């Protein structure tokens, strides 16, 4: 029963950090990965409770890794072109 409380606490703390650090791109990516790991824990608990197959978890992990790689490639591209990863220095009009 305590693992469900840990799952909910992990998810909402990840959302809180995501909302608070919305100007810093690297911290947003880290909080998104933390949210994905908490969702993975929740899916693992849910599928384990009903003794389902864990094949869907492999698909979920694959998609979350692809999302993380895409975010890191955008971060590298922005830091090479602008020198930092703050949203305030990006000019969206040019």
Q: Which of 58, 34, 33, 31 is nearest to 44 (CA)?
A: 58
Quote the CA–CA distance of 62 and 68 in Å, as a whole number.
Answer: 10
From first to last of its 94 residues, the chain has per-residue pLDDT tens of: 788 899 899 999 999 999 998 778 888 889 999 999 999 999 998 888 887 788 889 999 999 999 999 988 988 887 887 777 776 666 654 5
- The pTM (predicted TM-score) of the whole model is 0.81
**Topology of the domain comprising 2-85:** Helix Hairpins (1.10.287)
Domain ranges of the chain: 2-85
């Amino acid at each position: 029963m305590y693992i469900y409380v840990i799952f909910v606490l992990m998810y909402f703390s990840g959302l809180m950090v995501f909302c608070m650090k919305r100007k810093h791109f690297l911290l947003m990516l880290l909080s998104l990965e933390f949210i994905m790991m908490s969702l993975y824990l929740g899916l693992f608990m849910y599928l384990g409770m009903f003794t389902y197959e864990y094949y869907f978890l492999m698909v979920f992990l694959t998609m979350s890794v692809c999302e993380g790689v895409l975010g890191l490639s955008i971060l590298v591209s922005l830091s090479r072109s602008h020198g930092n990863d703050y949203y305030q220095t990006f000019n969206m009009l040019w």
